[in-house]
Amino acid sequence: MKEIDIRQAFTIEDHVFIDVRSPGEFDESHIPGAINVPIFNDEERAKVGTTYKIKGQDPAKWLGMELVSPKIPHLMQCIREVSESGKKPIIYCWRGGMRSKSVATFSEMAGLQVQRLTGGFKQYRQWIVDNLNETILPNRFIVLHGMTGVGKTMILDRLKGKGFPILDLEACAGHRGSVFGGIGAPVYNQKTFESNLYHQLEKIKGLPLVFMEAESRRIGKAVQPEFLLEAKAKGIHVVLETSVEIRAKRIYEEYVIPYKSEAQFQERVKEAVTPILKRFIPAIKDELIQHIDKEDYKNLIVLLLEQYYDPRYQHKLEEYDGPFYHVRVDDIEDTVKHLTKIILQHQRDSTLVQG
């Protein structure tokens, strides 16, 4: 079988990582884009591990063989489907040990062309730790500021659709930055955030100007690295502004309408708001709870904006030196046109300086 390291893996066109670890390990963190084809489920993995600790290596290997044998046709079919789609499978497990070696061996016996990642996910994780630094930054960021609900994410999406490079930190974190941010999306841990961040930055490395949102240091469960916070502070700052009514409407349409029919939505909103209730005076706290109990999410959003997010926003803005462009966001498309003019102006100014 052909064995490759993580550096070589990234140079292979049309590759797909096949993660043969258990579903629990995969969910905890994996190489972005990987497909989980587990050789053991979580319970089986625990049994093999316990057998290894109590009885030793050989009994654990025998148990593993008994558990895996009935699954071999299914495992091979999964990998075969990847190969037949025109992709090149790269098999990995935790440390590049028995699990990936076994699957790679079965694949070769079945006539499938695969490669095995030496060092497994552990090597990949070390690669991220070693390479997630200022060397993969763009030259400068255009940083979008704005009160909660102003439409920063929508604007980034529109800019991306028009071909402008962006850094989407919310996508990296699986969280959209407010108490509603984890509703309707998986919230990633620090390892997954850093993996996603590395791969996004690698794509925009060295570009002259890249749009990003002025996210807080912590996004959901993840914390931004210091080098990125410093680059953000030195960026070109744009403050997006619109009314409370428009912002509340956008939040309701994005966070509430798609999910409010789900059985646990009200409970999830309550769980999201509960941690910040201690920050309010009793009267506001009671009003927030009443809105949740009545499922009056429109008024809940307005109250959170006026009593929690807006006062905090001004404090955050004071952390930046500026100067600031101020842009109205009453209409998203008009805003995108305005931002396009800003980036083109900076590109012209940069060309004149270089000339």
Helices (H) and strands (E) in the chain, counts: 17, 12
Do the beta carbons of residue 90 and residue 64 sit within 8 Å? no
Phi, psi torsion values for 211, nearest 5 degrees: -80, 145
Among 93, 132, 173, 231, the one annotated catalytic: 93
Give every CB contact of residue 237 below 8 A, 6+ residues apart in sequence: 143, 145, 214, 320, 322, 323, 324, 325
Phi, psi torsion values for 326, nearest 5 degrees: -110, 125
Do the beta carbons of residue 79 and residue 37 sit within 8 Å? yes
Do the beta carbons of residue 150 and residue 120 sit within 8 Å? no
Give every CB contact of residue 279 below 8 A, 6+ residues apart in sequence: 308
- DSSP string for 233-267: HTSEEEEEE--HHHHHHHHIIIIITTTTTSTTHHH
What whole-number distance in Å separates Cα of residue 15 and Cα of residue 114? Answer: 10
Which whole-number Å values give the CA distances from 105 to 2, 49, 54, 111, 347, in the listed order?
Answer: 10, 22, 28, 10, 53
Do the beta carbons of residue 348 and residue 261 sit within 8 Å? no
Give every CB contact of residue 309 below 8 A, 6+ residues apart in sequence: 147, 148, 149, 178
Has 78 been annotated as catalytic? no
Do the beta carbons of residue 137 and residue 209 sit within 8 Å? no
Instruction: Classify each residue of 54-84 as buried b or exposed e, where b means 16 or more C-beta atoms within 10 Å of its C-beta.
Output: eeeeeebeebbeebbeebeeebbebbeebbe
**What are the residue numbers of the active site?**
93
